[in-house]
Amino acid sequence: MRLSSTEVQERQFLNEGFKQIYQEAEERIFSFNFKSWLKGVLEDCMLTEFEEKVVCVPAYERDLKTRKNLRNGFYNRSLLTVFGLIEDLAVPRPRSGGYTPSIFEKHERRERKLNQLMTECFWRGISTRDMTYVIHTLTGVHVSASVVSRLTKKWDLETKRWHERALSDDYVYLMFDGVWIKNRTFTGKKRRLVLVAYGVKKDGSREVIDYKLDYSESEENWQQFLTQLTARGIEGKNLKLIVSDGCKGLMNAIALVFPLVGHQLCWAHKMRNILKNVKKKDESEVKKDLNEIFSEKISTREEVVKIIWYWRKKWRTQYPAAVRCLERDLDHLLHYLKCPTEHHKALRTSNHIERQFKEFRRRLKSMEILPTKDSADRALYALSQIRNEKLGAYPLKFTHNYLH
């Protein structure tokens, strides 16, 4: 259908009108001085807060009964926000003092969200020097590396509260292990041990429960850590299994604190210890023969014991030390078979807690060394929270893949 010349002209007129309106809207949006607008909003908020909380009387009223303070003009202060530096904010000043606007932290000239952004980025792997470049790119203002370091120290109280929080007793599986990190101390040592507790609940949700900075994996240190967990709420009434490596101190501590709970040793650690007693040329065959017990078709203790019996018969003469290594802890290696079949793959190793150690090492490596115990504690706390946040975002489905 052909349009008449009049209709064509009308459409052209409308198109030109739309283009002009769009252009004007675009110019108004991009020419808008957002920082100036934000400055006005912040000043209005401070003035309202000042009148409601400090003076308690509207302007130009002389009600002495409700008045708590007197106005004394304004002073100027700058605030660094995620939108850039806002200069010369008019801050209300009381006659008697004692007022700090809620938009400011005490003795700080940066917005809380910007401080949180800097600390979050720092804990997630960006170094303090790189952070200065990131903040300068976002806001146009230079922030020194020492500022980021000072901000992280404010996590001390939050870290202490996390270590002392009450714990629920709804964990069905617990995993314990230790990892060494670099940590300079007054005695000159540059390594510190971190004892870590990891838990899985009935619905499949899991978390890093807590950790403890120590100097060795002795029975005394592990027992102290486990006793603290029980005192905070983990009595073990719902516990079905505890998984750990072959550390003797930890094994003894578990037997004392949780004597009625099955203790599963990690098959990955045990396999490495077995292969230490085998010649290089036979390692793959020895491992292959023993790995038959991990087949999805094998799910009962009788089937596993039968495979192990044939494995021992085959290798006892050639590698007696390897066979003794397996026999020594055989009972502790088969506890996972008492749990539901779909949980076997996830419970026969401690890979889930090793995944947390990988995050510890990755982040702490860029920090090179932690000068004090408090700095190490803050870093580990932040990394644990980041890991728990990721675990909480996963579907609550108890499978081997989701646990890692």
Poorest-pLDDT segment among 150-154, 201-205, 295-299 = 150-154
Q: Can you tell me the mean pLDDT for 97-126?
A: 62
Nearest partner of 266 among 243, 288, 241, 289, judged by Cα: 243
Q: Please tell me the predicted confidence (pLDDT) of residue 404.
A: 44
In degrees and rounded to multiples of 5, residue 189 shows phi and psi of -70, 150
Burial of 103 (0-12, 13-18, 19+ CB in 10 A): middle
In degrees and rounded to multiples of 5, residue 66 shows phi and psi of -100, -15
Query: pLDDT: is 332 or 25 the higher one?
Result: 332
Tens-place pLDDT, residues 188-209: 667 788 999 999 988 888 899 9
Q: How confident is the model at residue 270 (pLDDT cuts 50, 70, 90)?
A: very high
| The three-state (H, E, C) secondary structure of 320-370, written as one string | HHHHHHHHHCHHHHCHHHHCCHHHHHHHCCCHHHHHHHHHHHHHHHHCCCC
DSSP H/E element including 196: strand 191-201
Q: Which letter does DSSP use for residue 293 in this model? A: G
User: How does the average pLDDT of the chain come out, rounded?
Assistant: 78
Tens-place pLDDT, residues 171-185: 999 999 998 887 665
Q: Can you tell me the mean pLDDT for 318-334?
A: 92
Rounded-to-integer distance, Cα 229 and Cα 221, Å? 13
Rounded-to-integer distance, Cα 363 and Cα 124, Å? 7
Q: Which letter does DSSP use for residue 280 in this model? A: G
Q: Please tell me the predicted confidence (pLDDT) of residue 138.
A: 62
Poorest-pLDDT segment among 12-16, 90-94, 294-298 = 12-16
Q: How confident is the model at residue 400 (pLDDT cuts 50, 70, 90)?
A: very low
Query: pLDDT: is 164 or 104 the higher one?
Result: 164
Q: How confident is the model at residue 220 (pLDDT cuts 50, 70, 90)?
A: very high
Q: What is the DSSP string of 46-58?
A: HHHHHIIIII-S-
Task: Tell whether the model's pLDDT for residue 109 goes beyond 60.
Answer: no
pTM of the predicted structure, to 2 decimals: 0.67
- Highest mean pLDDT (candidates 60-74, 145-159, 248-262, 375-389): 248-262
The amino acid sitting at 259 is P
Tens-place pLDDT, residues 344-385: 888 898 888 888 888 888 777 766 666 678 878 888 888 888
Q: Please tell me the predicted confidence (pLDDT) of residue 174.
A: 95
- List Cα–Cα distances, 126 to 65, 154, 221, 241, in angstroms: 54, 18, 33, 38
- For the chain, which residues make up each domain, given as ranges? 28-105, 110-164, 168-393
Q: Please tell me the predicted confidence (pLDDT) of residue 246.
A: 83
